[in-house]
Structure 1
Amino acid sequence: MLQGYHNRRFDADFLTTQKVIASGKLGKLQELEMHYDYFRPEVPESVTEFSVDSSFLYNHGCHTLDQVISYFGKPDDVHFDLRQLLGDNRMNDYFDVDLTYDDVKISVKSSYFRLKERPSFVAYGDKGAFVKETKDRQEEDLKKFYLPDHADFGLDRPQDYGVLSYMEDEQYHEEKVVSEVGDYSLFYEALYDTLANGAEPLVKEEQTLLLMSLLEEGIKSLGK
């Protein structure tokens, strides 16, 4: 069995944004912005030759674009803006991908040069908006060797909760949204269920092929 490794389908910020969209409080979804930023200039500065395999789009866009595909499916149209901020023949260290689904626009953006990170998710509907400032905490905890055997592993703090603003009955409402619990172990549970019990794969073959084609198309657009 061959399956793409997409544990980030179980990121807390992504799951929480899905919950907000499903609640209907945004009204009809119009636009969704997804950001995954760093301030790590030493990474691209250490790379002196361009490599597809080490490109930011391949290494990080593969996860954020998969999130889009897993929730929205195949886009009607895609526009790529890939850059090498340190110059030609250097690392691809920035990307901005716009995907269109009917009249909904999804923007996926990442940069290695963001001293102040953009919100991880911003969703706009015709009745409201949702802003989730902080990313999922699981990777951060793992890097500190704070492991899943801790009860609060990966959990957002109240100050990390997203803010939902919406109109209802001609009244303005603003409320914090308790974050969903991110859990990368669910990816492995789904994989086991497929191997042991014949369950349908979490990551479908057609989703993997679509993602691969988008990544290849994006890299080809570099420098055009």
Structure 2
Amino acid sequence: MYMVREDTTTENSDEMQKIRTALIGYGSVGEKMHAPLITVCPDLELVAVVERRQEKSKEKYPSINIFRSLEDLLEADAADLIVIVTPNEFHYPQAKMALEAGKHVVVDKPVTIHSDEAKELKRIAEAKGLILSVFQNRRWDGDIRTIQKILAEGILGRIVHFESHFDRFRPQLAENWREKDVPGNGITYDLGTHLIDQAVMLFGKPDWIYAEIFKQRTGAIADDFFDITLMFGGIKARLTASVLSKAPVPKFLVLGEKGTYIKYGLDVQEKAFKAGELPEGLNWGLEDAEAWGELHLENTYMTYETERGDYRLFYQNIADAILKKHTLRVKIEEAITVLEIIEAAFLSNREGRRISFKVN
């Protein structure tokens, strides 16, 4: 078993309680990340995949059932947990359909395109007593878990500045729905969702938002750059992402009255998933020492060990919440806050001003 379990049920009891899980969509993220994470979770069983035209999932999972639509899967009552990994524009109608059918639901981030849609999903889930969560896997990146530890221990003293980058070099446009003229496209709804969620996880709701959101590549239809400032009392958070950044820049920069933490490089899990590695074993999510971040304090400098990154904990928590063993870690209320911040960021970009963020 890959993690310490917090219950004392027997192996046979665990097997009886496996939650039938279906994956809606089998694109790159569904195939390389969601499906492996589901299959290694001891309390979940991947029993079905919705693929409209192919049967690619059967190559790795020959025993699963293939359905051509969510409607067909729900009519067959083939699963208890529905995981939606389709383009953003389909998230709301598919999640609503699954919830109304009495199914627990996980939706890939950002959950829906509009915050009002997410609020409606929340209402349905609560009325039916169902689990509804959002795949915010990057809460379990090793670097952000390390920053949580540094802040909890007060190593940097009072924090004044938090900077988070997610830069890549992809100068050529891709044949991907995120770069086409469809609702919910662009880098802000993609990487921006992760960075905003991490900042809200650390600091709560912001006082105001200021954003610059651009299309920088020649011929770009969707936004491919953002620079978003969130103000949390005396803490300025700068969140930015570009697809035209070739030189290394810090992934994180945290400034406090006692010193600075700086970290380069992405969490190791994404590269492992892309290479087809199963999320198993004692070394999963561990970063090599040469990639650790640095602490620069008043009279000393040191490398600081990166915590283990572990996306497996997301799906274990989903299973535990369904089985009523633990509370849900990624709540729909938090996803709604992230969407409201994204909406405010686009408004700020259009109007060129700070947007006050009123707590609802």
Please say if 1:125 is aligned against 2:252.
no
Count residues in correspondence: 220
What is the CA-CA distance between 1:218 and the residue it aligns to?
A: 2.3
Within the alignment, does 1:104 sit opposite 2:235 as a pair?
Answer: yes
AA aligned opposite 2:144:
F
Which residue of 330, 336, 344 maps to 1:209? Answer: 336
> 1:9 maps to what in 2?
139
1:36 to 136, 158, 166: 166
- 1:64 correspondence with 2:191: no
Encode CA deviations 1:173-209: one digit per residue, 9 max, x unaligned.
Answer: 1111011001001111111111111632212232111
Identity, % of aligned positions: 30
Q: Structure 1 121/48 Cα, relative in aligned 2: closer, same or farther at 3 Å?
A: closer
Q: Deviations over 1:87-115 (max 9, x none)?
A: 68722000111111111101111001100
What's 1:186 paired with?
313
Change (3 A) 1:71 1:48: closer
Radius of gyration: which is bigger?
2
Over 3 Å counting, the alpha-carbon distance change for 1:20 and 1:2 in structure 2 is same
Question: Structure 2 length normalisation: TM-score?
Answer: 0.57
- 1:177–1:48 CA distance, 2 compared to 1 (3 A): closer
| Secondary structure in structure 2 of the residue aligned to 1:42 | coil
SS at match of 2:134: coil
Taking only aligned residues, the RMSD between alpha carbons, in angstroms, comes to 2.1
Aligned pair partner of 2:151 in 21, 28, 31 = 21
Q: Give distance in 2, aligned partners of 1:192 and 1:52.
A: 31
Secondary structure of 2:308's match?
coil
Of stretches 45-54 and 11-20 in structure 1, the one that deviates more from structure 2 is: 45-54
Of residues 173-182 and 195-204 in structure 1, the stretch that sits farther from structure 2 once superposed is 195-204
In structure 1, give the amino acid aligned to 2:156. L
- Superposition deviation, residue 222 in structure 1: 4.3
1:48 and 1:100, CA in 2 relative to 1: closer, same or farther beyond 3 A?
closer
Question: Quick check: 1:174 aligned with 2:174?
Answer: no
221 and 51 in structure 1: CA distance in 2 versus 1, 3 angstrom threshold: farther
The answer (yes or no) to whether the contact 1:82–1:221 under 8 Å persists in 2 is: no
The answer for unaligned runs of 5 or more in structure 2 is 1-130, 352-360
Q: Identify which of 244, 265, 284 aligns with 1:153.
A: 284
| C-alpha distance after superposition, 1:146-199 (max 9, x if no partner) | 2222432322111100000112xxxx1111101100100111111111111163
Match of residue 53 from structure 1: 184
The DSSP-based 3-state class of the residue aligned with 1:3 is strand
Question: Letter of the aligned partner of 2:300 in structure 1?
Answer: H
Residue type matched to 2:319 in 1? Answer: Y
Mean CA deviation greater in 137-146 or 80-89: 80-89
Counterpart Cα distance in 2 of 1:206 and 1:120: 27
In the other structure, the counterpart of 2:12 is none
CA contact (8 A) 1:120 1:134 kept: yes
CA distance in 1, matches of 2:210, 2:218: 21
Is 1:114 matched with 2:263?
no
| Residues 86/127 of structure 1: CA separation in 2 closer, same or farther (3 Å cut) | same
Displacement, 1:217?
2.4
Q: Give the partner amino acid of 1:9.
A: R
